Structure 1
Amino acid sequence: MYSGQPLPLETPDAAAGAAASGVALIRTYKAWKGSNIFLLGGRLIFGPDVRSLFLTVFLIAAPVAIFCIFVARKLMDDFPHHSGISIMVIVVALTLFDLILLMVTSGRDPGIIPRNTHPPEPEGYDGNTEVQPGQTPPLRLPRTKDVVVNGIVVRTKYCDTCMLYRPPRCSHCSICNNCVEKFDHHCPWVGQCIGLRNYRFFFMFVFSTTLLCLYVHGFCWVYIVRIMNGERTSIWKAMAKTPASIALVIYTFISVWFVGGLTVFHLYLISTNQSTYENFRYRYDRRTNPFDKGVIKNFMEVLCTGISPSKNNFRAKVQKEPTILPRTVVGGFASPMGKELNYMGMAVHSGRKPIWDGSVREADDSDGSLANNDRQDKDGVSADISPDLSRIIPPEDTEGRSIMNPRHSSWERRSGDWDISPEVARESKQFSGRNGTQQSWTDSKV
């Protein structure tokens, strides 16, 4: 149901067989259709806004560096038995732990569901149903599908981009362009979606950042109080002697409202077994939450259960998708997007004048038996072939307008708007002279 990108060739024998057959193989992350950014050969996966991660690291590391230089270093000698060094050790360890959680949250697969290469078949479809012209297909792919979770019916939606029915609690992230299992939200501060496989680390990151803010904030006040008691001065004079502490107190006070409030909010979400996406959409306000197992089991599910393995192997080798080549249309060539059509040697662009092109000759030279049959007459004598203007130039009607297709007005051109090179006109006259007729080109303008 959730088969995704081109099937990876997991076994070495399969990869060797594909390589021997001349099939081009590339890593899965190079053929990935999402908006993710990969590092270290597909070992790390980030969102498209991964640059914001540098700002987050700076907002954490810079205040801690200021705290270590101007506060913790001076407090190391104020405590007996060298216990003051523990202030420095704890703040450094807490910062490193916080940064590691940030990288784990941002650089791992959040629970991406692989895309289907083909849309799923409707239920009850046997593959033998024939639809007559003008009839509506009897089976259509429904937009929603109901599944039962813990005895409660949950409606799932079909994703047009990933061509699959999303599992319960799954949503498509418009930023990363992926369907993420148990989607919580896309966090711009970590540059990654928060989902089933990294929600635990995200919560631990927010919680540890809150503890770090409280730690720095508290010891800045300790340092201010020790200055006030040591010099027997007022608190305002003591604060004036340590401007770094004042800056850190203000910074951590503002930050703790954000990260602390976010921690409290996610504690509530974990206790009720909701996601941010579900809570903001009031998903369970008027109906029972089928995933709620009670406060203790909800915390156990998020913090103590094993993390499900990733459904993607970004380093596996897959077959490279073939490039769409130009296709032949009515004796000419059309690009895959259909924006340009070379009709018998004349490149016709939308809104442009046609230009004589040599692609017809190349096509005739590479066209096997058909070209050879055209170049020989009934007696087997090779004929001298030159471009025929009757095939290149559309016939003119009585009003002097050239008509290629009466259904499309873009093919209608005035005869004076067609640019014919002198070589083509000369070859046309020679060809007409051999047949005993005279080909004339009237340049009429209406």
Structure 2
Amino acid sequence: MAWNVFKFCTGLKVIGSVMIVVVLAVVGVSYYAVIIFNYAPHLIKGGSEAAIALIVVILFHVLLLMLLWCYFTVIFTDPGGVPQSWWPSPIEDLENQTTPLASTVSPPSGPNVPMVAQGPLVRYCRKCSHFKPPRCHHCSVCKRCVLKMDHHCVWVVNCVGARNYKFFLLFLLYTFLETTLVTAALLPQFIVFLSDADVEVVHPGILATIFLAFVLNLAFALSVLGFLIMHISLVAGNTTTIEAYEKKVSARWRYDLGPKKNFEQVFGTWKLYWLLPMYAEEDLRKMTVLHGLDYPLRPELDS
């Protein structure tokens, strides 16, 4: 039996609340090091360095605004739970089948009541005592079934699922861009900090703040880049972290509709909304996949 790496996550909810403070603290340290100490004074003084300072200040604030917008959107957006009225259809989820069900039978009266009847096999959550839609998994941290669950993220104190996965990806994107900008902006100061060159006397606390901001942002940029690459490959194949862990890699994934359609299932069809943590009303109305209950199959399987 495969080792379930997710069953040891029950203590993450307590840690997650602290992570919000950590994120805001890193933002505060970075803001002081880049804007208040370095580039705002150059912008005020003018001269040859004012143009570069203006570009850095504008980019920093734009990326920071998008980062925080996406971050809190992930935190406060419900990833999607199973509606009480949901009932499996005859062609529902065929993955990890455990409980046979015919469309005419009633829900079980208890979590330990198996049902044997004619019809397709669907999955049943014994912890929540209800059937699970396609691609739905139970979160041991949130203690409920989450639609198209990718993982429980301690940094956002929330599950990443069908209805906030796009926002999570945008949070990763803007975090990478912002931390890369901060690292590049502080690199000259960091080199001076490590060199023996004669520089004007700076308060040790300021130097420590610059050093800390540079190291933290470099570490975040490198780690987030790895997550971005991983999730780009997941989106391209229309799979989630849990599904990639569970499914056989030798067989083509039943939900893989091609890179373009796979991308649209996460980001929508309106290009103007691709980089914003929101969806077009038309996409929310027409694309049932964004609600997390219905997913089209590959043409050769959808028959």
TM-score normalised per structure 2: 0.66
Match of 1:172 in 2: 138
Distance 2:103 2:260 in 1: 43
- Answer 1 or 2: higher relative contact order, Cα 8 Å, separation at least 6: 2
3-state SS of the aligned residue for 2:168?
helix
1:107 is displaced (CA, Å) by 0.4
Deviation at 1:168, TM superposition (A): 1.5
Q: 1:126 to 1:74 in 2, by over 3 A?
A: closer
| Residue 87 in structure 1 maps to residue 53 in structure 2 | no
Distance 1:287 1:74, change over 3 A: same
Letter in 2 for 1:300: E
C-alpha separation in 1, matches of 2:291 and 2:148: 13
Report the counterpart of residue 237 of structure 1 in structure 2: 197
Rounded to whole Å, the distance in 2 between the matches of 1:98 and 1:276 is 22
Please show how residues 258-273 of structure 1 align to structure 2 within 5 Å: 258-273=223-238
Q: Which AA in structure 1 matches 2:54?
A: I
Aligned to 2:148: 182
CA distance in 2, matches of 1:79, 1:298: 49
In the other structure, the counterpart of 2:181 is 215
- Where does residue 285 of structure 1 map in the other structure? 249
Q: Mind listing any 5+ residue stretches in structure 2 that lack a counterpart? A: 1-12, 88-98, 107-112, 270-282, 293-303
Unaligned runs of 5+ in 1: 1-46, 128-138, 147-154, 229-233, 312-446
> Is the alpha carbon distance of 1:79 and 1:202 closer, same or farther for their aligned partners in structure 2, counting shifts above 3 Å?
farther
Match in the other structure for 2:115: 141
Alignment-derived partner of residue 33 in structure 2: 66
Q: 1:112 aligns with which of 73, 81, 86?
A: 81
The structure where strand makes up a greater share of residues is 1
- For residues 120-135 of structure 1, what are the structure 2 equivalents within 5 Å? 123=102
Shift of 1:157: 1.7
State whether residues 162 and 178 of structure 1, in contact with CA within 8 Å, keep that contact through their aligned partners in structure 2. Answer: yes
Q: Residue 197 of structure 1 aligns with which residue?
A: 163
Distance 1:115 1:54, change over 3 A: farther
State the match for 1:206 in structure 2.
172
Counterpart-to-counterpart distance in 1, 2:268 and 2:86: 35
1:252 equivalent among 193, 217, 225: 217
Q: Check whether the contact 2:101–2:122 (CA below 8 A) recurs between aligned residues.
A: no
RMSD (Å), alpha carbons: 3.6
CA separation in 1, counterparts of 2:131 and 2:54? 56
Is the alpha carbon distance of 1:75 and 1:124 closer, same or farther for their aligned partners in structure 2, counting shifts above 3 Å? closer
CA drift at 1:236: 4.1
Identify if the C-alpha distance between structure 1 residues 112 and 69 changes in structure 2 by more than 3 Å, giving closer, same or farther: same
- Partner of residue 127 from structure 2, selected from 154, 157, 161: 161
Q: Structure 2 CA distance, aligned partners of 1:284 and 1:126? A: 32
Do the aligned residues in 1 keep the contact of 2:148 with 2:161 (CA within 8 Å)?
A: yes
Please say if 1:300 is aligned against 2:264. Answer: yes
Residues 247-272 of structure 1: CA distance to partner in whole angstroms, max 9, x if unpaired?
Answer: 33222221112111111111111111
Q: Distance in 1 between matches of 2:105 and 2:240?
A: 39
User: Helix, strand or coil: the match of 1:158?
Assistant: strand
Distance 1:57 1:126, change over 3 A: closer
Structure 2 counterpart of 1:421: none
May I ask how many residue pairs the two structures share in their alignment? 238
Shift of 1:100: 1.2
Q: 1:191 to 1:238 in 2, by over 3 A?
A: farther
Aligned equivalent of 2:24, options 51, 57, 61 = 57
Report the 3-state secondary structure (helix = DSSP H, G, I; strand = E; otherwise coil) of the residue aligned with 1:51: helix
Distance 1:101 1:236 in 2: 41
One-letter identity of the residue aligned with 1:280: Y
- TM-score if structure 1 supplies the norm length? 0.47
Is the Cα contact below 8 Å between 1:117 and 1:163 reproduced in 2? no
Distance 1:245 1:303, change over 3 A: same
Counterpart of 1:114, as a letter, is P
Instruction: From 52, 59, 68, give the equivalent of 1:99.
Output: 68
CA offset digits 1:330-374 (Å, max 9, x no partner) = xxxxxxxxxxxxxxxxxxxxxxxxxxxxxxxxxxxxxxxxxxxxx
Structure exhibiting the larger radius of gyration computed from Cα positions: 1
Deviation at 1:65, TM superposition (A): 2.9
Counterparts of residues 368-407 of structure 1 (less than 5 Å): none
Give the match's secondary structure for 2:197: helix
CA distance in 2, matches of 1:200, 1:126: 36
1:73 is displaced (CA, Å) by: 2.0
Distance 1:140 1:174, change over 3 A: closer
